[in-house]
Chains A and B, each alone.
Chain A
C-alpha cells in the first residue's frame, strides 16, 4: 500500500507532462519563427539579385541612349505577330503613338487590361476554389487529371493561349508564331522579357528541355508523349529566342500540341532524375502569375495555396492568393459556401436549383450557368456488330428511328432541370466545326415506327412490343455507369421512351471498370456515356474505321468510307477555313448515319461569391476557363475584400 499511486502523484505527473508539452510547443513556435526568418532572408536575397539585375539593365539602357537609338514609330501597321514586342521596348512607349496596348489583337492580356479600367477594380484579396477530390500531385505531365491541370494553369504557362471569345490562339510565352502553309513546320519566336518565378530568364533551352523531357521514356508522361510520337514531331533550337517544330505529315493540331504544353524550367527540373520526378508530388514551377510558396516542397495533405508571383513578366492578376480546398461531400461544400468560406464551387442541377431558391445563399453568391465548350456531350452508342454478326443497329434507319424515339428536350428539361441542350453532333454548337444548318432529329415516335416497319420490325402479335422479321421481340440491353444517380434516372427515362415505341430496353448498370472492359471487347448492345471535347476536336479516334477494335475508341463498329476519307483530309488540312468546311461535311454524314444518338450538351453550373467580379460568359464558356492557361481577368470588387483589408 505504501507505493500506491495517489491523487497527488497524478497531479504531479500531469504537471510534468504539461510542462513537457509546453516546452515542446514553444520549440515548435520558435521553429515556425525560424522558418519565417529563413523565408524572409530568401526573399531578401532574391530581391537584391533583382535590384542588381535592374541596375545593370538601366546602365545598359543608358549606354544605348548615349549611343543614340532609332525609335520605331508605332503609328505604322505593325505586323500582327510582332505587335507585342513593340509594346515591350521602352522606346516604343516613349514614342507614345496614341495607340493603347489593348487594341492590339494579339495582346494576351487584353481582357485583364479592360478589367483594370473598371471602377470597382481593386487588386488584392484571395480567391478560394473547391476541388471535389484530394489532390495527389501537382507535378506536370505525370498522372494528369483535370484538377491538377486547373492548379497548374495558374502557375505554368504555355507558348500560346486561346482567347475564350474568338477561340483563336494568342501568343503568351511566344511573341509570335508562324505556321508554314504546308502545315509541317512551325516556328516560334519567344518573348525576351520572361522570367521564371525565381527570376531566372526563360529561353528556347527551356522549351527544348520540356519537349525532350516528355520524350524521355523514363518519365511517366505517356499521355503527352503519345501525340508527339504519333505525329512524329521533331524540334530544333534556332537561337536563344527562336525554336522550330517539324512534323512528318501535316496535322491540324500542330499548334495545340506544341503551343499548349506547359513550359518547364530547365534549371529547376534538370535537378531531378526521371525516377525522382515521377515520385515527387509538388514539382510545379513555371513562369505563371502564381506560384507555390516553396516550389518543389509541397506534398499532399498540405494546403494548396498559390501566392502571386511578384516577378511575373506580364500583367499581374488581381488576387494575392488562390487557395484550393479539397471537399468531396456536397453537403459540406454547400455549408462552406453559405458560410462564406468558399468563393467558387461547382453544383449539380438539383443542388443548383435548390440553392437558387434559398434567399440566404443568393445573398451570398451568384449562380453561374454556362455552356462549356470543353464539356463535351453524352450519347447512346449503338453497337453494330456482336460476336461477329451484325445487330439490328447495323441498319442506319434503325439508328435514326431510335434517335427519334428519345424525347431529348424533355430529358434536358426534367432530368437536367433545363441546364442542358439537345446535342446535334460530336462538336459543340458554339464552335465552327459543326455545320450550322443541322437541326437535331425531332422527337417523332410515329416516323420512327414507320422507319422500323420499313426494316421489318412490326408488332405482329399485338403485345405492344415490335418483333423482328424472324418473330423475336425487339429487345436490347443498355449498359451505363452505375455510380451516377442522374445516369440511373436517365436510363429509366430512356426505357420509358423506347417502350412507347414498342422497343423493350433492359437496363444494366455496370461499374466503371467492368464497363470499360465491355467496351473494349464490344460486349454490349448499347451504352450511354460521354466524351469530353476540346476547342477543336478530332473525330479520328472515335469514328474512323481503322479505330475499330482494341486500339481505338470506335467501339460500335461504325464504318463509313466517305467519312474516313473526309476525316483524313481534314486532319491534314492546315488552312482553318478549309478544314472547318471538311469537319462540317463530316458532321452531316454523322447526322445522317447516327452511329451515336447524341443526347445532350450539359451546361456547367457553379455558385460564385458575390465579391468575385467580372465573371462573364464567353464563347468557350466563361472569360476564364479554369483548366486553360489564360490571364485571370477576375478580381475581388473594391470595398468587398475579405481576407486582406
Chain B
C-alpha cells in the first residue's frame, strides 16, 4: 500500500505544481479584481513561508517526511541555528544588493540572484538527516486558509461521516430488499419496472437532482417540505435539543386536539376491545371492533396532523416551531434531501447487484436441494440463498467508503454543508496543494479501511473464509 500511497500523492503533487502559473498564482486571490498595491507583499511572504523557491522534488520529500510517522526532524524557524543563518543571509544580501543593482540587475530579478549567491544553511523546514525520529504526522498548513490542514479536516470529516453513516445503511437496506424482491419475481412486471427505474436512477446526474430537489421540494412555490440548505435552521440553537414531546399548547387550544376528543377515542377503543373479547367468534364483531379500536386513535392522529398542517400557527411559523420539533428533529429534517441525493445512485447500483447475485445463488444446486427437502420458502431465500450472495455486496462496500468523500462533493456544495466534499472541491478549485494532498491521503486511508472491513465481513458471512 505504501508505494501506492507515494505514487498517488506524487502524481497529485507534481500535477498541481506543473499547472501553469504554479502554486504562487494559486495563492493569490481567485477573483479577477484585487487592489494592486497589496499583491506583491503577499506573494513574497507566502513563498518565503512555504519554501516555494526550492526544487520541486525537495518540496515533495519535505512533504512526505512531514506526513510520515517515521522520518527526520526538521529545522524550525525558532531554532537558534536557523535564526543565525537567516541573520547572516539578510546581512549579506543587504550588502550585496546595491552592488548587483549597479551591475545591471533590475528590481525584478535581483532577489532571485541574491538568493542564488548567498544561501546559508539551515533553512526552516529543512530535514535534519542526522536526527531520525518517530513523530506525530503533520499534514501541514493550508495555503489559501493559513490554517493547519488537520484542523480543517477535523472540522469537516465528522460531518461527512455522519451523513454517510445515515445514508449507507439506508442504501443497503433498501437495495437489498428491492433486489431480493426483484430476483424472486424475475421476469415479471415488478422486476422490469424496478430494473428500469434503477437504471434511470443510476443515470441521473446528482447535481441536477439536487437542484431539482431544492427547486421543487424546498421551494414555497411547490412543496415546501424540506429545508433548502445547511444542517440546521438559523433559529435551532435557541431551541431545546430533543423534541419537547407534548404538542404545543396553542394547537391543543385551537380545538384540534381537545381532551374530550381524546377521551371519546380512548373510550371507543376500549369498548371495541371489550366487545371483541366477549364475542370472539362473530366475524362481524371482529371486523367492526378492529376498525373502531384502530380507527378511532388513528383518526385522532390524522386529525391532529391535518390540523397541524392547516392551523394558522403552523402555516405562519417556521418548521422549527412546530409541535414536537427541536434541534434534533430539525437536524434530521435537514438531512433528508442531502441523504436522498447521496444515496439514490448507490441504491440503484446495489439493487442491480443484489438482484444479480441472488439470482446466481437461487439457481444453485443447494437451493434446489433445500427446496426439495421441503424447507420453508422464506428460510430458503434468506438463510440459504441470500447469505451466500452477500459477498459481492461486501466487496462493493470497499469502494463505497472512499466514495464517501468524492460522492458528497456535489451534494455538500449544493446544500451548503461544510463537509469533506466541499473542502476537497475548494481545495481543487483554489489549487491548495497541502489541503488537496491530505484529502487524497484520507481517501486512500479510507480505501485501506474498506479493504480491512470487507475482509472481516467475509469471515462473518462465509465460514469457509479464514485468515490463518
Q: What residues of chain A have their CB less than 8 Å away from a CB belonging to chain B?
A: 25-26, 28-29, 32, 126, 128, 134, 136-137, 142-143, 145-146, 220, 222-223, 225-227, 230, 278-279, 281, 299-301, 303, 305, 323, 325-329, 331-332, 335-336, 338-341, 360, 376, 481, 484, 511-517, 529-532, 534, 538, 541-542, 549-553, 643
Given known contacts A325-B229, A511-B20, A549-B106, is B242 in contact with A225 (CB within 8 Å)? Answer: no
B103 at the interface (CB under 8 A from A): no
> Does A514 contact B144, Cβ atoms closer than 8 Å?
no
* Given A223-B41, A331-B215, A513-B25, A136-B234 contact (CB < 8 Å): no
* Cross-chain contact of A225 among B29, B41, B106 (Cβ < 8 A): B41
Task: Tell me the bound Cα distance from A329 to B410 in angstroms.
Answer: 11
B147 touches A517 (CB 8 A): no
Q: Which of A128, A514, A517, A534 contacts B234 (CB 8 A)?
A: A128
Which residue of A329, A338, A514 is within 8 Å of B219 (Cβ)?
A338
Residues of B within 8 A of A (CB): 19-22, 25-26, 28-42, 44-45, 49, 106-109, 144-148, 151-152, 155-156, 159, 211, 214-215, 218-221, 224, 228-230, 232, 234-235, 237, 240-242, 327-328, 413-416, 418, 422, 426, 431
Closest chain-B Cβ to A63's Cβ sits at a distance in Å of 44
Residue from A305, A328, A516, A542 with most neighbouring chain B CB atoms (10 Å): A516
* Complex: A394 Cα to B385 Cα, angstroms: 82
A257 CA / B229 CA spacing, docked (Å): 39
**7 nearest A-B pairs in the assembled complex, by CB-CB distance:** A513-B21, A513-B25, A550-B108, A226-B41, A514-B20, A301-B418, A222-B45
Residues of B within 8 A of A336 (CB): 228-229
On chain A, the residues within 8 Å of B30 by CB distance are 512
User: Which of A323, A335, A541 lies in contact with B214, CB distance below 8 A?
Assistant: A335
Question: Bound complex: CA of A542 vs CA of B146, how far in Å?
Answer: 28
| Bound: A134/B93 CA distance, A | 41
Contact A517 B418, beta carbon cutoff 8 Å: no
* Contact A136 to B145, CB < 8 A, known contacts A332-B211, A338-B220, A542-B36: yes
Residues of B within 8 A of A230 (CB): 37
Complex interface: chain A residues within 8 A of B214 (CB):
331-332, 335
A513 touches B19 (CB 8 A): yes
Can you name 10 A-B residue pairings with CB atoms under 8 Å? A26-B242, A29-B240, A142-B146, A220-B49, A303-B232, A328-B416, A329-B211, A484-B32, A514-B21, A552-B36
Report how far A447 CA is from B163 CA in the complex, Å: 65
User: From residue A291, how far is it (CB to closest CB) to chain B in Å?
Assistant: 16
A301 in contact with B159 (CB, 8 Å): yes
- Bound state CA distance, A331 and B216, in angstroms? 11
A516: nearest residue on chain B (CB-CB)?
Answer: B25
- Asked if residues B156 and A301 are in contact (CB atoms below 8 Å), the reply is yes
B28: A residues at CB distance < 8 A = 516
Q: Report which residue of A32, A220, A329, A376 has the largest number of chain B beta carbons within 10 angstroms of its beta carbon.
A: A329
Q: With A and B bound together, what is the CA distance between A303 and B108 in angstroms?
A: 44
Indicate if the CB atoms of B242 and A29 lie closer than 8 Å: yes
Cross-chain contact A332 with B234 (CB below 8 angstroms): no
B465 to chain A, nearest CB (A): 18
Contacts of A278 in B (CB 8 A): 146
A220 and B143 alpha carbons, distance in the complex (Å): 12
The docked-state distance in angstroms from the alpha carbon of A339 to that of B227 is 10
Contact (Cβ within 8 A) B414 A332? yes
A360 to B220, CA, bound (A): 10
Taking CB atoms, residues of chain A closer than 8 Å to B151 are: 279, 299
Closest to B78 in A: A275
Q: How far is the CB of B429 from chain A (nearest CB, A)?
A: 10
> B20 contacts which of A25, A222, A325, A513 (Cβ < 8 Å)?
A513
A417 and B33 CA atoms in complex are apart in Å by 21
Contact partner of B36 (CB less than 8 A), chosen from A26, A137, A338, A553, is: A553
Contact of B29 among A145, A517, A530 (CB under 8 A): A145
A487 closest partner in B (C-beta): B32
B240 cross-chain contacts in A, Cβ below 8 A: 29, 32
A327 in contact with B242 given A220-B146, A281-B147, A335-B219 (CB within 8 Å): no
Q: Are A332 and B36 in contact, with the CB atoms below 8 A?
A: no
| Residues of chain B contacted by A551 (CB below 8 angstroms) | 40, 107-108
A542–B34 alpha-carbon span in the complex (Å): 12
Which of B107, B148, B237, B415 touches A332 (beta carbons < 8 Å)? B415
CB of A25 within 8 A of CB of B215, answer no
Q: Determine which of A28, A513, A549 lies in contact with B26 in the assembled complex, contact meaning CB atoms within 8 Å.
A: A513
Residues of A within 8 A of B211 (CB): 329, 331-332
- The one of B22, B49, B148, B220 that contacts A513, using a Cβ cutoff of 8 Å: B22
Is A329 a contact of B431 with CB atoms below 8 Å? no
C-alpha spacing A538/B35, complex, angstroms: 10
List, in ascending order, chain A residues with CB within 8 A of B237's CB: 303, 305
- Contacts A143-B146, A332-B415; is A222 near B44 (CB within 8 Å)? yes
Query: B431's contact among A32, A134, A227, A513, by CB below 8 Å, is which?
Result: A513
Set of chain A residues within 8 Å of B426, measured between Cβ atoms = 134
CB-CB under 8 A for A339 and B145, given A26-B242, A551-B40: no
Q: Which chain B residues border A32 with CB–CB below 8 Å?
A: 240-241, 327
Q: Are A512 and B148 in contact (CB under 8 A)?
A: no
B229 to A: closest C-beta gap in Å: 6
* B228 near A335: Cβ-Cβ < 8 Å: yes
Cα–Cα, bound, A538→B106 (Å): 24
Contact indicator A550/B25 (Cβ below 8 Å): no
**Cα–Cα distance between A536 and B95 once the two chains are bound (Å):** 38
Distance between Cα atoms of A146 and B35 in the complex (Å): 11
Q: Which residues of A contact B415 (CB under 8 A)?
A: 332
On whether the beta carbons of B221 and A134 are closer than 8 Å, the reply is no
Complex CA gap A26/B39 in Å reads 52
Contact pick for B147, options A226, A279, A329, A331, CB 8 Å: A279
Contact B241 A530 (CB under 8 A): no
Q: Is the CB of B107 within 8 A of A29?
A: no
Contact A339 B219 (CB under 8 A): yes
Query: A264 vs B207: C-alpha distance in the bound complex, in angstroms?
Result: 43
Which residues of chain B are near A481, meaning CB under 8 Å? 32
- A456–B148 CA distance with the chains assembled, in angstroms: 60
Query: Quick one: closest A residue to B112, CB to CB?
Result: A550
- Bound-state Cα–Cα, A516 to B33, Å: 11
Residues on B with beta carbons closer than 8 Å to the beta carbon of A146: 31
Q: Taking CB as reference atom, which chain A residue is nearest B228?
A: A336
Beyond A32-B327, A300-B152, A553-B39, 5 additional pairs, beta carbon < 8 A: A222-B42, A279-B147, A301-B155, A336-B229, A541-B37
In the complex, chain A residues whose CB is within 8 Å of the CB of B230: 303, 325
- B146 near A541: Cβ-Cβ < 8 Å: no
Asked if A226 and B37 sit within 8 Å, CB to CB, the answer is yes
- CB contacts (< 8 Å) of A227 on chain B: these are 37-38
Q: Do A329 and B414 touch (CB < 8 A)?
A: yes
Q: B141 → chain A, closest Cβ, in Å?
A: 8
Contacts of A303 in B (CB 8 A): 230, 232, 234, 237
Residues of B within 8 A of A341 (CB): 228-229, 234
A532, B414: Cβ atoms closer than 8 Å? no
Chain A residues positioned under 8 Å from B235 (CB to CB): 643
